[in-house]
Structure 1
């Protein structure tokens, strides 16, 4: 009896010319699924590595490895049927009757209903999502990536809408809202053991391959594909994988391996790659929250305009509708960052009514309003001329959003929506002291600072950073804190973000009170006199603060969620005369050290974050401001986040390419002498100059910003604003166009 293998063969690697034997294979043969998966650039990477280092992927250990013995071999009389189809210009043979292995949501003629190969079953297969990720990973253009994801989302909305929620969470590698803190907590070694158990491979071999490729997901996929399979387990579904991941997050220890194994042995093609990456917390496809929300908005419009989808011009024809839908969706998400609420609502209600069904409420953190940096009092005068303004001391602490819900439960969230409630049990214990009236629920915006109880004064941020983050015993707390409240966003069931600051402040003072050393209102001064502003700035510095926050009181004075608004300006004490503010930049690469720095990274490539394009743009190389201990600590931390090559969303010039690339996981505060146009760096390119970006001159490291994620780094628009605010730039602009002088005068 003939034995049939229901396996997915390992792609053959290209070998050097001198090793080639026999006749050249035809183009048709080279594109068959047995030789190369369609749209699979990462496989090309591993093949190249294997040809140099491990030849046919066989190691001495692997030669003696036993075949995996999970299931008996399937015996049939015929091999799996194949069918020929076309992806773009690539002709390929499908190994699956339904065409699952060649599903391509990036197709120019994609139809959300007709091309959803799972429509007969009505349950979204995990392979469809994995194929979507695979295509996105290999796509360079941001707009094309979003459009591809929107095609898949639209198909899910039409065929299996109940699967949309798990699809959304898996696309951003989350299992629940970020503030719930649900994490998988799976170590790389645990995953390697699970792969070994499922494939019969040697642990040393898996480690070696991971070191070569820099991606355990690719290694897992290759190991799974080269494995001779027995009875094929049931196909994975999005719902099933999402549910299993939540189970894994809820258990601890070695019992995780069993659950991982159960899913991994059922993985087909790129499912293995993205399942393992999900467990690692690094999906590597470049889809961030804003891109996902845009893709959802486009998918909604495509669903409503299904008759036009055959032209693939929906985005062009209905661009205004898409822009409006995107704005409504993003605005709703800012006040209600919970897909468990938003996704059912967009499936059930009109987008115009979405905000009514997804209201803000305590226990769910808002994205905070942020301020624009400014260089001096003269800029405040230019921006707020004729307006009523207030100046508040800018405290050197940790931004905190404090919530009280109707059940009397207190929650404390960071500026990144991280749940810090466990970190401050002392604040919760004395939370009732701040209430002046019978308040049932509230959301306060505040700053938590370290407090010297004996001297009754603020301590530096470095002292606050020494507090434990988890398992804090209130009896063992050494660093005391005081909360400085500066805004009220919600009270007794009513949202206040659309109210002007003057009204929000009035309600704050009516319902809350100060308690010495525990709760204070931000020290404030309402004035339009710039001399008074300057004097108040000096007083804030003497009070151990960073400077001032200058805000409008009545005009344009709403709370702009998740925006860096010009209605709030920050005036810091330590600005440089020409730049204005420090920058918070992401570390994306490292340069090997020489001399005293041998064995560590001697320099680093930093980038700002372009919110519009969701990419990291290089802004400078930095090698100063570090002590030897700094370099050692940076090297130890960043060496754990090395990647095999630059991300598709890194924008840089080859002349500044580092020796090593890093995942964008850490933000540094950096100062510089000034900003200048650069032919090699890409920060804010296209904003100030069409061909040149902006770079920092004489950058120096200040500190690690542990309170900021990479996406909260200094934005490209901010970099452009800081460049244009420099005196020499403004003077040059005025000298180059005499008409500007007349316009400024009148």
Structure 2
């Protein structure tokens, strides 16, 4: 569930709870750079005649999930926050506020939590005995929980199954289920077709176009209901009633249930032409009536994960694609299969890659703007250059990788500048890794994802991307980075990781050794 609570609601609740003005709250936030610290300081300085009942996990959980809609829903949500802040003591205001903002930042990633769940199950008295063939129970249990979560990302189901049947039976008790979106598999970038062919010799490769749209997972249940999920597992069913209608109409009669992986792309049916993502982003985001749709879309299907009550995740891609092609009728501009070839011939694959690039498809890096420098001359009044970062999963931090001011139209630059001004913070957060030499005029909260193209990657004395993965004290930077587009379908933590940046650099170094030089100290 999305809590649907913004910063302004939290500030209002905090001001009313602590008897302070909103201006005071914002002033202190500008100094501290963390609304959680402001909440903690405000509560600690406030004396109370009567001490409220202590907060419990159940009370906090139920209050967070309280559903409010209709008239005065925002006021009701604010009052829920106030009830928690009034009862909060010690460090509780700090973490309650950060939870509401989705910025807990305690140095523990989701993978850490999943490992802990597996190990806790091993140490529980009832299910302590592992199967005889398992040599390292704790490590194996962590792997099992992570694997199950990847196909059934539902803590309620997983924890209940661990408590009732233990970790060793978890793959049996928790399976891929229609109606629960499975996390998409992430890819590894490569810089050479020949390198891939050498790594996986004597096998065929399936190559597909990379479409400029929104990734979607379409679930069709046995009862005929349909749910459409985004890459971030958000329910988009009401955003795409035309997509739901198309898959229901174009599935074959024998198909009673399925889960399809696809890309939803804006499409000009008269010209039979794919339109850019910016066009798709102009569609309304919720409660869309089919009669009001002005931007048509086409479904480009490339995988089938579930069919007629059977999960296909453990089947190989060739079998899954056979099921996909046999289960749906293609109709131009409504539902088409992704353009693809299967080959192990380097020249044929290279030709197909060139065709896809010429069709405006290609691979890039997704990065996060965390700072900016004021523009001058023709760019006076807007930001001239932006500081970009990649995300490091191990340390849960954003690491600087480059600056860019190229690829923006005047109108786009004005829009980006206006959006990011509302996200300004007084100083870089503790989870921004940057060199002291880089001092942008302003810093931003990490809120956006930008797609960026560059000529190549290079070792840097200044930028911190993948600093401990390629060189102990140097990071990786991009040469000639250029903005391609803003990615509203991605959150900052889902952007290109430092691990991927390091892998891309290693691939480049192996295939193009002359490109992998150290930048000068000012670059």
Q: Is TM-score (shorter-chain normalized) higher than 0.5? A: yes
Give matches, 1:636-647, under 5 Å. Answer: 636-647=418-429
| SS of residue matched to 2:169 | helix
Q: Is the 8 A contact 2:44 2:89 kept in 1?
A: yes
1:371–1:271: structure 2 CA closer, same or farther, 3 Å change rule? closer
Q: Is the 8 A contact 2:206 2:342 kept in 1?
A: yes
Q: Is the 8 A contact 1:433 1:515 kept in 2?
A: no
The answer on 1:234 being equivalent to 2:53 is: yes
Give matches, 1:177-196, under 5 Å. Answer: 182-196=1-15
1:577 match: none
1:253–1:462: structure 2 CA closer, same or farther, 3 Å change rule? closer
**Residue from 222, 246, 254 that aligns with 2:75:** 254
**Residue from 329, 336, 360 that aligns with 1:520:** 336
**CA distance in structure 2 between the aligned counterparts of 1:285 and 1:661, rounded to whole angstroms:** 21
- CA offsets 1:583-622 (integer angstroms, 9 cap, x no match): 1112222334445545443322212222333332221122
| SS of residue matched to 2:74 | coil
The answer on 1:205 being equivalent to 2:24 is: yes
- CA offsets 1:418-467 (integer angstroms, 9 cap, x no match): 22211110121232222224222111111222222222232333322222
Q: Is the 8 A contact 2:367 2:452 kept in 1?
A: yes
**CA distance in structure 1 between the aligned counterparts of 2:442 and 2:116, rounded to whole angstroms:** 32
1:471 match: 287
1:604–1:536: structure 2 CA closer, same or farther, 3 Å change rule? closer
Instruction: Give the alignment's TM-score, normalised by structure 1.
Output: 0.63
Q: Is the 8 A contact 1:423 1:472 kept in 2?
A: yes
Q: Is the 8 A contact 1:514 1:521 kept in 2?
A: yes
**CA distance in structure 1 between the aligned counterparts of 2:292 and 2:205, rounded to whole angstroms:** 42
2:399 match: 617
Q: Is the 8 A contact 2:217 2:262 kept in 1?
A: yes
**Residue from 202, 220, 237 that aligns with 2:39:** 220
1:695 match: 477
**CA distance in structure 1 between the aligned counterparts of 2:44 and 2:91, rounded to whole angstroms:** 9
1:255–1:531: structure 2 CA closer, same or farther, 3 Å change rule? closer
1:600–1:296: structure 2 CA closer, same or farther, 3 Å change rule? farther
**CA distance in structure 2 between the aligned counterparts of 1:717 and 1:192, rounded to whole angstroms:** 37
2:242 match: 426
Shift of 1:511: 2.4
**Residue from 252, 274, 285 that aligns with 2:106:** 285
**CA distance in structure 2 between the aligned counterparts of 1:250 and 1:273, rounded to whole angstroms:** 27
| SS of residue matched to 2:458 | strand
**CA distance in structure 1 between the aligned counterparts of 2:46 and 2:253, rounded to whole angstroms:** 68
Q: Is the 8 A contact 2:192 2:511 kept in 1?
A: no
2:520 match: none
2:519 match: none
1:603–1:436: structure 2 CA closer, same or farther, 3 Å change rule? same
The answer on 1:378 being equivalent to 2:194 is: yes
| SS of residue matched to 2:66 | helix
The answer on 1:266 being equivalent to 2:87 is: yes
- CA offsets 1:150-187 (integer angstroms, 9 cap, x no match): xxxxxxxxxxxxxxxxxxxxxxxxxxxxxxxx233334
The answer on 1:674 being equivalent to 2:456 is: yes
Give matches, 1:355-374, under 5 Å. Answer: 355-374=171-190
Give matches, 1:95-494, under 5 Å. Answer: 182-247=1-66, 252-300=73-121, 320-494=136-310
Shift of 1:319: 12
Shift of 1:538: 4.8
Q: Is the 8 A contact 1:609 1:616 kept in 2?
A: yes
**CA distance in structure 2 between the aligned counterparts of 1:729 and 1:380, rounded to whole angstroms:** 11
Shift of 1:243: 0.9
- CA offsets 1:401-427 (integer angstroms, 9 cap, x no match): 111112211111122222221111012
Q: Is the 8 A contact 2:373 2:383 kept in 1?
A: yes
| SS of residue matched to 2:388 | strand
**CA distance in structure 2 between the aligned counterparts of 1:708 and 1:293, rounded to whole angstroms:** 23
1:495–1:601: structure 2 CA closer, same or farther, 3 Å change rule? same
Shift of 1:336: 0.5
The answer on 1:653 being equivalent to 2:435 is: yes
Q: Is the 8 A contact 2:33 2:429 kept in 1?
A: no
1:352–1:500: structure 2 CA closer, same or farther, 3 Å change rule? same
1:302–1:648: structure 2 CA closer, same or farther, 3 Å change rule? farther
**Residue from 322, 336, 348 that aligns with 1:506:** 322
**CA distance in structure 2 between the aligned counterparts of 1:457 and 1:203, rounded to whole angstroms:** 50
| SS of residue matched to 2:209 | strand
Q: Which stretch of structure 1 is more off in the superposition, 209-218 or 222-231?
A: 209-218
Q: Matched residue pairs, number? A: 508
Q: Which stretch of structure 1 is more off in the superposition, 448-457 or 494-503?
A: 448-457
Q: Is the 8 A contact 2:402 2:463 kept in 1?
A: yes
**CA distance in structure 2 between the aligned counterparts of 1:428 and 1:695, rounded to whole angstroms:** 43
- CA offsets 1:461-489 (integer angstroms, 9 cap, x no match): 33222222112121111111111211111
**CA distance in structure 2 between the aligned counterparts of 1:702 and 1:279, rounded to whole angstroms:** 32
Shift of 1:490: 0.8
The answer on 1:602 being equivalent to 2:397 is: no
1:301–1:398: structure 2 CA closer, same or farther, 3 Å change rule? same
1:477–1:268: structure 2 CA closer, same or farther, 3 Å change rule? same
**CA distance in structure 2 between the aligned counterparts of 1:538 and 1:256, rounded to whole angstroms:** 52
**Residue from 446, 451, 459 that aligns with 1:664:** 446
Q: Which stretch of structure 1 is more off in the superposition, 375-384 or 328-337?
A: 375-384
Give the number of the structure whose alpha-carbon radius of gyration is greater.
Answer: 1
**CA distance in structure 2 between the aligned counterparts of 1:392 and 1:257, rounded to whole angstroms:** 48
Q: Which stretch of structure 1 is more off in the superposition, 437-446 or 656-665?
A: 656-665
Q: Which stretch of structure 1 is more off in the superposition, 228-237 or 708-717?
A: 708-717
Q: Is the 8 A contact 1:667 1:704 kept in 2?
A: yes
Q: Is the 8 A contact 2:121 2:166 kept in 1?
A: no
Q: Is the 8 A contact 1:394 1:545 kept in 2?
A: no
1:722 match: 504
1:191–1:728: structure 2 CA closer, same or farther, 3 Å change rule? closer
Structure 2: runs of 5 or more not aligned: 129-133, 517-523
1:315 match: none
**CA distance in structure 2 between the aligned counterparts of 1:527 and 1:466, rounded to whole angstroms:** 38
